[in-house]
Amino acid sequence: MPQATTMQDDPYFIDFPQRIRDIQAAMAQQGVDVYLGSRLRTLSWTLDAFCPWRSHVVIPTQGLPTVITFVIDAARVEDDSWLDEDHVWGYGPMGGQDQISLLCDLILPHLPGGKGTVGIESGMATYLPEGNLTQYEYERLSAALPEASLANAHNIVDRLSLIKDEGTINRFREASRIVDVGHQAVREAIQDGGYQGMTETEIAGLAAYAMRKAGSEWEWSFTGGNEIASGYRTGLAAGACTPASRRELRSGEPLMVDLHAMFKLGLGDHAHNYLLGPASERQHWHAQNFVDLVDLCLKTYRAGISPTSLADELLDFCEERGFAEYMVPGFEHGIGMMGDEWRIGLNEGPFPYWTDPEHLYQAGEMVICAMQYACPEEGIGFRYENPILVAEDGCEAMSKFPLGIEEI
């Protein structure tokens, strides 16, 4: 039975044909004759399928898009997607079936006389699997379409995907519920001395097992799936990326558990922290600092503020409490359906392809509220992450696992 969510009364329903029509309307406004999407975020947002292999989606000015993906995965992509067999093609190392030949077959019928504008996705990203068109692809397509011009048009999808629809939000809510199941499993496993003899990788695995049982498709983060840090690794300077290691958990040390679950391309991402007892007063001081800051941050998020104004307010609080030097001065990263991670909003800031610090949050936007506290000299640190939905008068934190740093 196909996996696609096509019933309008399904809470996870997304109107993908309407998304395509919205893209087509924007193409008309920008004079784009055919849109060539290559970024993972664009593929997820238009197809409702996870495309782990290099893939491209070709969107004409009217009608359905066609995706090409590695032939070994094309039938599965079709099964997951709302598109039919005629609009999901496989490429392979075969005459006429390589990526460039297929793309030209799909693009040329939409360029009368071979002339016109092909909207492409180019740029740079902190996120490795972003999927911008490569230089090689650009050169080969330019040579194969000599009368056409290739113009950067990723802003079309970026603009349209900024405000999340109900189906997307519900997918994130469910992914976050699943992450909470993972956190509960970790908590049950480590309490009453259960952590003794366990490694970070074991924590990552038992959380993954619990989340998969609850319906997660995978631990989606490219940073190593479930990120687990213990002891000094929690306090690595500015260290907000800790793939689980084989390090054994030890008493008297902090433990950071950052779990990731995916539900229909909606992403759960929540980090929770522990002190493996006995904890010192100093450790509790650090912990209280962090919990109070997270609490303040969640109360501050609302439409109309910007990353800069949020950072100013929170860093003032850190300064007053005497722990400013331990805070990484960033409090969120962007999020959307699988592949849309890191940058918030459009590419409008002073540094290309980074978040615009003056971006004004709007109701319906989602970000990962993300904070990292690191004190390398004391070997202690904490992380908080949680998808939040920005509203006019506040925000909804999607993971409901209670905020706190408890001593286990």
Partner 1 sequence: MGNFKYLSPEWAAEATRRLQEDLTPEKMKHLTSSMTTVYTNCPDGQERTVYYRLEDGVVQEVSLHQEDAPQAEFTIKGDYETFAQISRAELKARAALMSGKLTLKGNLVKALRLAPVVDRLNEVLATIPTDF
Q: How far is the CB of 334 from partner 1 (least distance, A)?
A: 34
Complex with partner 1: residue 51 or 318, whichever CB lies closer: 51
Element (H, E) at 141: helix 135-144
Task: Point out which span in 97-105, 120-128, 150-158, 264-272 binds partner 1 (CB under 8 A).
Answer: 97-105
Rule CB under 8 A: is residue 75 a binding residue for partner 1? yes
What is residue 276's three-state secondary structure?
Answer: coil
Sheet holding 56-60, edge to edge: 88-91, 66-70, 56-60, 34-37, 116-120, 148-152
Q: How far is the CB of 23 from partner 1 (least distance, A)?
A: 24
Rule CB under 8 A: is residue 94 a binding residue for partner 1? yes
Q: How far is the CB of 93 from partner 1 (least distance, A)?
A: 6
Rule CB under 8 A: is residue 85 a binding residue for partner 1? yes
Rule CB under 8 A: is residue 143 a binding residue for partner 1? no
Which residue in the set 1, 96, 197, 393 belongs to the binding site for partner 1 (CB under 8 A)?
96
Which residue in the set 20, 26, 74, 208 belongs to the binding site for partner 1 (CB under 8 A)?
74
Task: Point out which span in 39-47, 72-80, 145-153, 205-213 binds partner 1 (CB under 8 A).
Answer: 72-80
Element (H, E) at 179: helix 166-190
Rule CB under 8 A: is residue 362 a binding residue for partner 1? no
- Checking DSSP bridges between strand 405-407 and strand 116-120, what pairing results, if any? unpaired
Which residue in the set 93, 197, 278, 350 belongs to the binding site for partner 1 (CB under 8 A)?
93
Q: How far is the CB of 105 from partner 1 (least distance, A)?
A: 7
Is the distance from CB of 211 to CB of 182 less than 8 angstroms? yes
Which residue in the set 12, 16, 35, 89 belongs to the binding site for partner 1 (CB under 8 A)?
89
Q: How far is the CB of 66 from partner 1 (least distance, A)?
A: 10
Which residue in the set 1, 7, 9, 95 belongs to the binding site for partner 1 (CB under 8 A)?
95
Pattern 101-140, partner 1, x by CB under 8 A: x---x-----------------------------------
Q: How far is the CB of 113 from partner 1 (least distance, A)?
A: 21
Q: How far is the CB of 81 from partner 1 (least distance, A)?
A: 13
Three-state secondary structure string covering 301-370: CCCCCCHHHHHHHHHHHHHHHCCHHHECCCCEEEECCCCCEECCCCCCCCCCCCCCCCCCCCCCEEEEEE
Is the distance from CB of 39 to CB of 132 less than 8 angstroms? yes
Instruction: Please name which of 369, 392, 149, 134 lies closest in space to residue 270, comparing C-alpha atoms.
Output: 369
Which residue in the set 7, 9, 86, 350 belongs to the binding site for partner 1 (CB under 8 A)?
86
Complex with partner 1: residue 74 or 206, whichever CB lies closer: 74
Binding residues for partner 1 restricted to 42-71, rule: CB under 8 A: 71
The radius of gyration of the chain's CA atoms, rounded to the nearest angstrom, is 23
Complex with partner 1: residue 66 or 117, whichever CB lies closer: 66
Beta bridge partners of 382: 373
Q: How far is the CB of 146 from partner 1 (least distance, A)?
A: 20
Task: Point out which span in 49-57, 84-92, 186-194, 376-384 binds partner 1 (CB under 8 A).
Answer: 84-92
Complex with partner 1: residue 79 or 248, whichever CB lies closer: 79
Task: Point out which span in 78-86, 276-284, 321-329, 359-367 binds partner 1 (CB under 8 A).
Answer: 78-86
What is d(CA 407, CA 270) in angstroms, rounded to the nearest whole number?
A: 19
* Four-CA torsion 396, 402, 406, 408, nearest 10 degrees: -130
* Four-CA torsion 233, 234, 238, 240, nearest 10 degrees: 100
Is the distance from CB of 58 to CB of 64 less than 8 angstroms? no
How many C-alpha atoms does 259 have within 13 Å on its Cβ side?
32
DSSP single-letter state for residue 37: E
What is Dmax (Cα atoms) for the chain?
Answer: 75
CA angle (358 as vertex; 159, 128 as ends), nearest 5:
60
Complex with partner 1: residue 4 or 241, whichever CB lies closer: 4
Complex with partner 1: residue 101 or 309, whichever CB lies closer: 101
Which residue in the set 12, 16, 82, 91 belongs to the binding site for partner 1 (CB under 8 A)?
91
Q: Which residues bind partner 1 (CB under 8 A)?
A: 71, 74-75, 78, 85-86, 88-97, 101, 105
